[in-house]
A and B are shown apart, each in its own frame.
Chain A
Amino acid sequence: MGVDLEAARPALARFLATAAGADRAEILTVEKLSGGAIQNNYGLDLELEGGPMAGRHALVLRTDAPSVIAESHGRAEEFALLKVAYGGGVRVPEPLWLCTDLAVLGQDFYLMRRIGGAAAGHIVTKAVAEQGDGSDLAAALAQEMAKIHRIVPECPGVESLAFLGASTADPAGAAIARLRGHLDRQPLSHPALEWGFRWAELNKPSDFKISLIHNDFRTGNYMVNEGKLMAVLDWEFASWGDPMADLGWFCAKCWRFGAPGDAGGIADRETFYAAYERASGQAVNNDRVFYWEVMAHLRWAVTAILQGERHVTGGEISLDLALTGRRPAELELEILHMIQNVDGRKG
């Protein structure tokens, strides 16, 4: 499916000229960027004549991809999230213009500034290993995470995030219910995951301190250039939630790309926690981060099953999706291992 940007070039140029308050906009180059399974990204070089932004701009145009996951936000929502994050001083690509006029591309899209660097998890962890020390990068990430967590439902200016719904007092219970719902709709049963969810239910923390969470904050979803953090990307799962869930997702073993360093495969956990505590003024709750690491494996396992089904029954033949469909085995093993260890310690 996807959009035909070549055919839409004149309409797109007209939209961009109006949005930028320019006399004329010329699209110099367009190229498809590799990226997520959920959205399509295009690199776009733009020349604006007249208006406040006259000159040349390197941009990214982001649209929905064919396979939209019901749980992820659409482009308009993601644009609103980026605006709030940018306003909160979080290092993100500056969001510029949103277009919800389907006459232009046939679907919603927005433009943001293009940022150089690499994001792919195996590239980032390899570069850190070669450099020998990822503590500065980990500290920078902790600072950005802390900035996100300062955005709470009571903040002025977050009215644009109304689509997130009211914040729940029980984000763990909500996550369990949502993931079990997905699992129940799959053709095969998964007793090990079921046992993981039972554990998660029986060990559910309470008294959450709710803030905005990125909800997909992990190695692979931030841009690095020469060891420096450039931007935090991929905001389509952001929600109100437990800040410790972001730390758990970031530190979960399934997102370390086989690299050493509990913190995203780039640094040790202590370095990351210390930087987070300094930046946020909040203590890291170890048990709670552990809880969310178990949940991270459960969530990734369920997502992997869904992705595998897209290949098997969804008509989207892909070796990548097919192999992802076989990832749950090792995630299940890790879940059993984590639960046994923690319950063994308690007992």
Chain B
Amino acid sequence: MQDRPDAKNLLETARRLLLDELLPELPEARLYETLMVARCMEIAARALAAGETPLHREYESLSALIGETGVAARPPRDKAELEQAIETRNLALCQAIRIGEFDGFRAAALGEHLWQTVIDKVCETNPKYLKTLV
């Protein structure tokens, strides 16, 4: 256990300093780059806040969708192994989609899974985008 503040707090504090105090001092030609730096810090802070919850959600949802249940479907503890397990399932899902296995009545279940996982991705990369959907 680390002392406080946590990494998310450090990133957010650094980002505020960058945008509020350093940015006005920088030449306008560096504006775009500075905003990119701030954006990266924002994404990293959100990733830290979310932790592994979205990964577990994706794993569970994928396992349900492509029909793996029981002991074998228990998620790996290690993050890298979990990501590998998700990728293996995503690859199988992609192949199934391509050959039309989700064209009919299974489309609704697929749709639900895709919405959930993509919303989780956007919540990390650019949550403001959710408001632009009309």
Contacts and interface: CB of A to CB of B under 8 A. Distances in A.
Contact of B114 (A195, A320, A322, A334): A195
A336 B115 contact: yes
A322 B37 CA distance: 11
A334 B39 CA distance: 21
A191 B90 contact: yes
Contact of A195 (B37, B97, B124): B97
Given A190-B94, A194-B97, A330-B125, 6 more contacts: A189-B87, A191-B90, A191-B114, A191-B117, A320-B36, A333-B133
A189 B94 CA distance: 7
A191 B94 contact: yes
Interface string A302-326: 0000000000000000011011001
With a 10 A CB-CB cut-off, give which of B40, B113, B122 has the most chain A CB atoms.
B122
A337 B133 contact: yes
A319 B33 contact: yes
Interface string B109-121: 0110111011101
11 contacts: A190-B90, A191-B97, A194-B93, A195-B110, A202-B103, A319-B33, A323-B36, A323-B40, A332-B114, A333-B121, A340-B111
B49 to A, nearest CB: 16
A197 B126 CA distance: 23
Q: Is the interface of B mostly helix, strand, loop or mixed?
A: helix
B105 interface: no
A323 B133 contact: no
B118 A192 contact: yes
A189 to B, nearest CB: 4
B129 A330 contact: yes
A198 B126 contact: no
Nearest to A330: B129
Contact of A322 (B40, B100, B119, B126): B40
Given A319-B33, A333-B122, A336-B114, A326 B43 contact: yes
Contacts of B100: 198
Given A198-B103, A329-B122, A329-B125, A191 B93 contact: yes
Interface residues of B, number: 33
B26 interface: no
Contacts of B129: 330, 333
B97 A333 contact: no
Contact of B118 (A180, A188, A326, A333): A333
A189 B133 contact: no
A272 to B, nearest CB: 19
Contacts of A332: 114, 118, 121
B87 A198 contact: no
Nearest 6 CB-CB pairs, A to B?
A: A329-B121, A189-B90, A194-B94, A330-B129, A329-B125, A189-B91
A96 B121 CA distance: 47
A134 B114 CA distance: 37
B36 A188 contact: no
A323 B102 CA distance: 32
Given A189-B90, A330-B129, A340-B111, A198 B98 contact: yes
A334 B118 CA distance: 10
Contacts of A180: 98
A198 B97 contact: yes
Candidate in A180, A202, A319 with the most chain B CB atoms within 10 angstroms:
A319
Contacts of A188: 87, 90
Contacts of A334: 133
B117 A330 contact: no
Contacts of B130: 333
A337 B27 CA distance: 40
Contacts of B118: 192, 329, 332-333, 336
B102 A195 contact: yes
Contacts of A202: 103
Interface string A24-42: 0000000000000000000
